[in-house]
Amino acid sequence: MTRDQVLDLYFMDARCKLIELAAFLDRVDRSEGEADFRLAALRNALPLLASPNAERAKAVLMALSDPTVDPIPAAFGKGACGAWPGAPR
Amino acid sequence: MRYIEPHAHMVSRITDDYEAMRLAGCEAICEPAFWAGFDRSSVDGFYDYFCQLTDYEPKRAAKFGLPHFSWLCINPKESEDMGLARDVLGIIPEFLKRSNVLGIGEIGLNKNTRNEITILEEHIDLAAKYDQLILVHTPHLEDKFKGTRLILDVLRADSRIHPGRVIIDHVEEHTVEMVLEAGFWAGITLYPESKATPARAVDMVERAGMKNIWLNCACDWGRSEPLAVPRTAIEMGRRGHSKEAVDALVFGNPVRFLSQNPRFQIS
Ligand SMILES: [Zn+2]
């Protein structure tokens, strides 16, 4: 596909998601109390969108991933939340 | 369009979903054993579930002309309790004789714990002893990258396991390469919020090639979309991929992998 064809197919969808993300960050700012590690993880990933790297989706996923290698001794609950609590804030 | 749905938890779906999938061109459904959304209290709960997967559910699918196949295991979300997990591993061999069972799955990891890894190793041992195909679930979200690496290590440590007989499911942009480079098959799961969207799935296929990849909807009791595979086929068409390429991905590839078990027959 040409770049224009990609834009014709996906620009409106990307525009919609970008505005949703901006509105989400505004909503968080308007709310009260401390944000947990998930907000910092999301903010840390935002500059990756503007990077010249052609693997931005992979970079964002890695920024939100547990980078450690050893199995943990036991599970505290079954769920995942989408960001790694151990990431620097 | 024709396609195979190689990963769907139909016990959690309504009958209309079978009809919609058939109308969309589905020619067979494969159902791995999974977590019910709550922990089963005993091995008897699994015995009944395996009966449902190997007896009742194929009959329900047949009403819509759909062959139904299943995979058996205790899923990683319940394998933290190793006593229960070993009891369940003990009843699997008698169910492997049933005619719609394709292999061991979906095994894998959830929170990447030591107990989960031990039970994963024991499932792999069972698959090797009974010469079964393997379907692997990789962890969710922040745990996926680490878990995928650990799973590859465990599989590669067992010399009886041939990578071409193992599919590692739920890959995303940060895990697809390591799975394919190690010689395993990769599954891309299409979900509304997590895992992959149709557009990202086609991106991955365009970059990695479609040789050993299948698509699946993994529909279950959560937010999921039973028609995600045909929707992704349409997405490929919108980008100009040929009908032959779409057919190879959504029909040819799953048939090629699943036919390694001669029980996988579709007319
Ligand atoms: Zn599943």
| Whole-number Å distance between alpha carbons of B74 and B77 | 8
How far, in Å, from the CA of B138 to the mean position of ligand 1?
10
Q: Give residue A54's pLDDT.
A: 86
Sign of the CA dihedral with B184 first, then B190, B195, and B196 last: positive
Q: Which of B113, B142, B144 minimises the CB distance to A75? A: B113
Q: Give residue B178's pLDDT.
A: 98
Give the nearest chain B residue to A41 (CA atoms): B142
- Parse chain B into domains and list their residue ranges: 3-258
Rg (CA), chain A: 17
Give the nearest chain B residue to A57 (CA atoms): B173
Partners of B261 in the beta sheet? none
Q: What does the pLDDT look like over A4-27, one tens digit per residue?
A: 999 999 999 999 999 999 999 999
Ramachandran category for residue A3: left, alpha or beta (phi over 0 → left; psi -120 to 50 → alpha): alpha
| A57: chain B residues, CB-CB within 8 Å | 173, 200, 203
Q: Give residue B221's pLDDT.
A: 95
DSSP state at residue B239: T
Decide if B238 and A75 are in contact by the 8 Å CB cutoff.
no
| Whole-number Å distance between alpha carbons of B149 and A1 | 34
Identify residues whose C-beta is under 5 A from ligand 1, the ion. Answer: B 34, 218
Q: Give residue B267's pLDDT.
A: 80
The per-residue pLDDT of chain B, averaged, comes to 97
B121 touches chain A (CB under 8 A): no
B110 touches chain A (CB under 8 A): yes
* Percentage of the residues of chain B whose pLDDT score is greater than 70: 100
Q: What does the pLDDT look like over B153-182, one tens digit per residue?
A: 999 999 999 999 999 999 999 999 999 999
How far, in Å, from the CA of B72 to the mean position of ligand 1?
12
How far, in Å, from the CA of A89 to the mean position of ligand 1?
33
Q: Give residue A64's pLDDT.
A: 97
Closest Cα in chain B, distance from residue A29 (Å): 23
Closest Cα in chain B, distance from residue A14 (Å): 11
Q: Which of B113, B145, B200 minimises the CB distance to A71? A: B113
Q: Give residue B197's pLDDT.
A: 97
In this prediction the pTM is 0.97
Residue B151 contacts residue B138 (beta carbons within 8 Å) = yes
| Whole-number Å distance between alpha carbons of B61 and B18 | 7
| Whole-number Å distance between alpha carbons of B115 and B109 | 10
For residue A89, pLDDT over 80 is answered with: no
Q: Give residue B120's pLDDT.
A: 98
ipTM of the complex: 0.96
Single-letter code of the amino acid located at B259:
S
In the structure, what pLDDT confidence band is assigned to residue B138 with cuts at 50, 70 and 90? very high
Q: What does the pLDDT look like over B47-76, one tens digit per residue?
A: 999 999 999 999 999 999 999 999 999 999
User: Residue range B119-135: average pLDDT?
Assistant: 98
B139 touches chain A (CB under 8 A): yes
- Parse chain A into domains and list their residue ranges: 1-33, 34-71
Note the helical H segments in B132-175: 144-156
Q: Give residue B38's pLDDT.
A: 94
How far, in Å, from the CA of B134 to the mean position of ligand 1?
13
Decide if A74 and B115 are in contact by the 8 Å CB cutoff.
yes
Q: What does the pLDDT look like over A29-55, one tens digit per residue?
A: 999 999 999 999 999 999 999 999 889
Closest Cα in chain B, distance from residue A30 (Å): 25
How far, in Å, from the CA of B216 to the mean position of ligand 1?
9
Residue B201 contacts residue B171 (beta carbons within 8 Å) = no
Q: Give residue B213's pLDDT.
A: 98
Architecture of domain B3-258: Alpha-Beta Barrel (3.20)
